[in-house]
A and B are shown apart, each in its own frame.
Chain A
Amino acid sequence: MFSRDTWKEIFETIQKNKLRTFLTGFTVALGIFIFVSLFGMGNGLNNTFAKFFGDDATNVLYLFPGRTSIPYKGYKANRRIEFENDDLAAIEKDFEMFLEYVTPRITRSALVKYKEESDNYSTRAVAPPHLFAEKTIIMKGRYLNEMDIAGKTKYAVIGRLVEQDLFKDADAIGEFIDVGGSVFKVIGVFQDDGGDNEERRIYIPYTTRQLIEKATDKVDQIIVGFKPELGYAGAMAFESSISKYIRNRKYISPNDPNGLFIRNVADQLKQNQQFAGVLQIIISGIAFAVIISGIIGISNIMLFVVKERTKEIGIRKALGATPKNVTSTILLESVFITTISGFVGMLIGVGLLRFIGNALEEDYFITDPYINIGTAIFATILLVLCGTIAGYVPARRAARIKPIVALRDE
């Protein structure tokens, strides 16, 4: 059945029936191609979601003061809430057993100069643990430490791109830069996976910022890193108790949606993962529907092929082809075409995904689309296998064709 001669006969038939071969092959290749590209795009979407959160720690709450909208405990509505250093200390003390760290963040935009070069950058006045919340990676030098906070030092840790912009190829460490009128010494350079914006930032001690701004003790935001062991449910409970605590401290009604804002990264991550998961299921569903329609396509083509070849099969049988000869020739032919074109479609699909790479990242949220090569091969083999089964029925029918019926002169 698998002799060289059988294959030669099959090659010849395939070669000499180019249109038929093309139609069958095209259907299969297209099916696999669509499957692979869709599946890859789905993965790309997933990657984008993962990436949104991948660059920041997820066991973090961001607390933002707002403006009250409900009168409470003798205070009028429309009162502006502000955080102070005391709040930081209080949270640190009262939630000690849940906490990993607490850090303030004061964000200011500033014109930054070094020699002839200058540009506007966002500065963040923070405490040392901010490093963990933002997953800042120190490339050289060091990050801020507690001594910088206590001493209110004029030290700055600058982003990789800030160094690139201002210092060109020179080393920034130990150099002095002018940040909005104050001179700071660069003590470290960092990188961040969150993209270019994140690497155009400058970190300074929050106490230094407060000193520059007329010795205030206000902070913009409080970032609370809690113990990862809390888990998702723990994080939600922790969020609600810290909300209650702040509202109590700051006289904000428990029902006021505007007095206090809390961003819970763990919660957002979970929601987005669920969304991405649903999306992936939908895309996989579509992709498998494509495979199914590919299978239906193959069986239709096979039916058509057998019909078209009825006369030829009759002739072959009259000349001595056994039913097994007929079945195996037709099946091998279809398996051969399906396999080759299936893998061609798969390679084109994989190639397209490679080619797209991150080109769609900005506009379409597709990052690094890929398909597990195992999945691609599985789908291809599935299609070939089902195509074979689908082709078997018409092939069997072909084998049962009575030569006298096939050869009857119309």
Chain B
Amino acid sequence: MIEIKDLHKSYKMGSNSLHVLKGINFSVDKGELVAIMGSSGSGKSTLLNILGMLDVADTGDYTLDGVPIKDMNETKAAQYRNKFLGFVFQSFNLINYKSAMENVALPLYYQRMPRKERQEKALKYLDQVGLKEWATHLPSELSGGQKQRVAIARAMAAEPKVLLADEPTGALDSTTSYEVMDLIQKINDEGNTILVVTHEEDIAHMCKRIVHLKDGVIVEDKKVKQVRASAYV
């Protein structure tokens, strides 16, 4: 599903340049649930942003579902993000003046799906994350966990090939974190490919594979026995 080879990325800061990713090689198969771990500043988000086509690598190859991602203009990248990728962020990033349902329906709007269809679909996904009753509520009326579940519903509504989550539990307490991980595990159980950036061991062990980043390279890449979050909920 994902294949990257010798990926480099540096940020220019004035005359200096900060070499963040120094040759990343890894691949992810369909249906995997991968945790990307590492200390703060180790380049986890940078890697995820490149995978999510929100950013571009300096050098290296990236293939997503057999399509080489290279020299893509903004419009094309936007269309690929819309079709192939779902995002979940630490700070939820819901649009504050749109209801839960409208937030979930937004990626479908950019797919030019008719309004009615899109609302039905948004409701279906809200139902899957257990928030159907909250469809008309604004994000400000939801708890942190609920917001993140709306964000997950939004990421899944476009039925992406890969779900990318950058510290999805970073802003949540541990009980709520496990609820969110439970949801992510269930989505993975249905065969969806998911990458989760985290620096928390317990969250990482709820995935099936842990990739450890340090100083811009992968220092460890191992399969783990998945801890089911439902045990803690």
Contacts and interface: CB of A to CB of B under 8 A. Distances in A.
4 smallest beta-carbon distances between A and B, as pairs: A320-B82, A320-B110, A16-B97, A322-B78
Contact of B78 (A12, A311, A320): A320
A146 interface: no
Nearest to B83: A320
Given A9-B109, A311-B93, A323-B74, 18 more contacts: A5-B112, A5-B115, A12-B98, A13-B97, A16-B98, A17-B97, A315-B93, A316-B110, A318-B52, A319-B81, A319-B110, A320-B110, A322-B74, A322-B79, A323-B78, A324-B75, A404-B49, A409-B89
Contacts of A403: 54
A13 B96 CA distance: 11
Given A9-B109, A404-B54, A315 B95 contact: yes
B62 interface: no
A59 B85 CA distance: 85
A9 B113 CA distance: 13
B218 to A, nearest CB: 21
A17 B82 CA distance: 26
A315 B88 CA distance: 11
20 contacts: A5-B109, A12-B98, A12-B102, A13-B97, A17-B97, A315-B94, A316-B106, A316-B110, A318-B87, A318-B93, A319-B87, A319-B110, A319-B158, A320-B81, A320-B110, A322-B74, A322-B79, A323-B75, A325-B110, A409-B89
A8 interface: yes
B82 A8 contact: no
B95 A320 contact: no
A405 to B, nearest CB: 10
A8 B105 CA distance: 14
Interface of B: 49, 52, 54-55, 74-75, 78-79, 81-83, 87, 89-91, 93-95, 97-98, 102, 106-107, 109-112, 114-115, 154, 158
A317 interface: yes
Contact of B90 (A311, A312, A409): A409
B107 A320 contact: yes
B98 A407 contact: no
Contact of B89 (A317, A320, A407): A407
A49 B54 CA distance: 67
A263 to B, nearest CB: 70
A312 B89 CA distance: 14
A347 to B, nearest CB: 29
Nearest to B114: A5
Contacts of A89: none
Contacts of A312: 95
Interface string A1-37: 0000100110011001100000000000000000000
A321 interface: yes
B112 to A, nearest CB: 8
Contacts, number: 70
Contact of A319 (B55, B82, B114, B115): B82
A343 B61 CA distance: 55
Which of A316, A318, A323 has the largest count of B CB atoms less than 10 A from its CB?
A318
A322 B75 contact: yes
**Interface size for chain A: under 10, 10 to 19, 20 to 34, or 35 or more residues?**
20 to 34
A1 to B, nearest CB: 12
A8 B78 CA distance: 22
A13 B97 CA distance: 8
Contacts of A16: 97-98
A318 B115 contact: no
Contacts of A322: 74-75, 78-79, 110
Nearest to A326: B78
Contacts of A318: 52, 54, 81, 87, 93
A325 B82 CA distance: 13
A320 B79 contact: yes
Q: Which of B87, B95, B98, B154 has the most CB of A within 10 A?
A: B95
Contacts of B83: 320
A409 B168 CA distance: 13
A5 B52 CA distance: 27
B97 to A, nearest CB: 4
B78 A409 contact: no
Interface in A385-410: 402-404, 407, 409
Best-buried of B74, B83, B114 by chain A (most CB within 10 Å): B74
Contacts of B55: 402, 404
Interface string A280-323: 00000000000000000000000000000001101111111111
Contacts of B107: 319-320
A311 B97 CA distance: 13
A81 to B, nearest CB: 85
Nearest to A312: B95
B97 A321 contact: no
Contacts of A323: 74-75, 78
Contacts of B49: 404
Contacts of A17: 97
A50 B228 CA distance: 91
Given A17-B97, A407-B89, A321 B115 contact: no
Central interface residue in A13, A319, A402, by most chain B CB within 10 Å: A319
Contacts of A5: 109, 112, 114-115
B51 to A, nearest CB: 12
Contacts of B75: 322-324
Contacts of B74: 322-323
A8 B154 CA distance: 20
A228 to B, nearest CB: 70
A16 B95 CA distance: 11
B154 A319 contact: yes
